Amino acid sequence: MSDSPILFVRTIAKRFGGTVVLEDMNLTVERGSIHALVGESGAGKSTLTKVLAGIVRPDSGVIEFDGKTVTIDSPNAARKLGIGMVLQQPVLFAERSVLANLFVNREPVHNGLISRREMEARSRDLLRQLGLDVDVHTPLRDLGPGERQLVAIARALLENPRLLILDDPNSALDGRQSERLFAALRGLKAKGMSMLYASNRLDEALGIADQMTVMRNGRDVLSKARQDLTTSEEAMIGQLRQSLFPLPLRALPTLAGTLRPQIAVEGLSGGILSGVSFTARAGEILGLAGSGAPDLLALLFGLRKPRQGKVRFSDGDGLPGTQTEAARRNICMISGDRGNGLMADKSIAFNMANVVVGARNWGSLWYSPKAALRRATRQIEALRIRSTPEMPAGALSAGGQQKVVIAKWLEIGPQVMLLDEPARGIDIGSKQEIYALIRQMAASGCIVLLHSRELSELTGLCDRILAFHQGRLAGEIAGDDMDVGKVLKLIISGKPADERHQSSRESAA
């Protein structure tokens, strides 16, 4: 066979509404190699992989697969070409068995009946290779997220694709599982399979890739073989993310002894959270990492009921009983989950009235569209949202939508901000603006709790980070100790990287 690349992507562009997601994107994947595609979330990685899998149609550009120009207009077309795909959030059938999920729409048939025996035989070796040791007849919902991810990968591999595309497959896996996955991927490479591996973790990509392409704002900014990468280039890639975060503003002096409003949490349990104690002070951004952090935010916002423990907010009261009470006490919750914050079919003005009109029970009993428009116009200007108040909020870009969600809370002057991945899946520009806004809120005396799965976001933005392991507080990292590796170590193993942190953990507990 020829040595020509298996995949050649030239000047692909794609926009959704007013948002440009891909712009002049180029990519070349060599045969029998692992090509890493790295970039911040929102850079366009997922969209590019979806274009290649036939889920999203590009507006323009050329795709050559195996030397021929192809149009991939459906997932079936991609499958026929031999492109296998593992999505970031795999679409699986939770109620059905592992086996049924592996052979969706391709069940081997004997005499008109689905042959379970053949399915078992065909999947056994593959599952062992991936290190997935589960009963193939258990329904998928009983599996952990990591195991489910492996099922999705196995499903793609069963088709014997010539090019396997993995979109951040590692995010749900724990350390051992991801090592297994990497070993399996290397094995597949040895057999001649080509792979495109999209990830937002640079170290991970450097660990497995032969070539890598760095993506930013829908373009390829750097494309090189792994061994040609100079240290300065590695550093540059690392720096791309550093510039995202604004420098801390120090409006409030961190004087010991001054009384600052704070949240004191003592032995709080609820959800998977158990026995968590800490304090969060006004003027700082407290990062939360690991499993249990979303539950903590839900508890503090009154979405969940605590099993035990005491909490004292800055206004002197305990946990809010309902989310309405929380909103009325100026405790705000901003979630990056799509759909948690936005009424997409309603106008921006309507959305901005969510808290002021919707949650509060004081003030006028009337809803004035004029006042809503004024409010929206003011916030649109302040947050630089590129639209007009009458437009439906759903027509905004993801970043704009998230700004609307934040703006509606700014209207009430929040005392406590609970942020659950507030910048997930949005473009870098909006990210920067939102980070700057969070900084500003903290500096103006707000208590900010920030949870994120993207640890670099925490280390870049927070003053302190609390790491949770299986619902327990595993440790606290502050100051110069903050780096992704240390936080990761804490949330995966529950133990600090070295003895020095042991003391800080005890003082926190």
**Could you say whether residue 377 binds other proteins (CB under 8 A)?**
no
The answer to whether the beta carbons of residues 404 and 342 sit under 8 Å apart is yes
Report the alpha-carbon distance of residue 157 to residue 174 in Å, rounded: 21
**Could you say whether residue 15 binds other proteins (CB under 8 A)?**
yes
The answer to whether the beta carbons of residues 399 and 430 sit under 8 Å apart is yes
**Could you say whether residue 456 binds other proteins (CB under 8 A)?**
no
CB closer to other proteins, 158 vs 244: 244
For 286-338, give the secondary structure using H, E and C. Answer: EEEEECCHHHHHHHHCCCCCCCEEEEECCCCCCCCCCHHHHHHCCEEEEECCC
Structure tokens at 398: 């993801």
Least CB distance to other proteins at residue 337 (A): 8
Q: The tokens 């489910």 sit on which residue?
A: 148
The answer to whether the beta carbons of residues 464 and 287 sit under 8 Å apart is yes
Segment interacting with other proteins (CB under 8 A) among 138-146, 153-161, 172-180, 215-223: 215-223
What does DSSP say about strands 7-16 and 60-65: parallel, antiparallel, or unpaired? antiparallel
Least CB distance to other proteins at residue 58 (A): 12
| x/- letters, 242..281, toward other proteins (CB under 8 A) | -x--------------------------------------
Residues 318-347 that bind other proteins (CB under 8 A): 322-324, 326-328, 333, 335, 339-346
E-strand ranges in 50-168 read 60-65, 68-70, 83-86, 109-110, 113-114, 163-167
**Could you say whether residue 466 binds other proteins (CB under 8 A)?**
no
Phi-psi region of 153 (alpha: psi -120 to 50; beta: other; left: phi over 0): alpha
**Could you say whether residue 47 binds other proteins (CB under 8 A)?**
yes
**Could you say whether residue 3 binds other proteins (CB under 8 A)?**
no
**Could you say whether residue 427 binds other proteins (CB under 8 A)?**
yes
Segment interacting with other proteins (CB under 8 A) among 29-37, 316-324, 454-462, 468-476: 316-324
- Residue choice 76, 138, 388, 503 for contact with other proteins (CB under 8 A): 388
Cβ partners under 8 Å of residue 359, min gap 6:
324, 327, 328
In the complex, the residues that contact other proteins under the rule CB under 8 A are 15-21, 23, 42, 46-47, 50, 55-56, 216-217, 219, 221, 240, 243, 303, 322-324, 326-328, 333, 335, 339-346, 350, 353-355, 357-359, 364-369, 386-388, 390-391, 394-395, 397-399, 408, 425, 427-430, 432
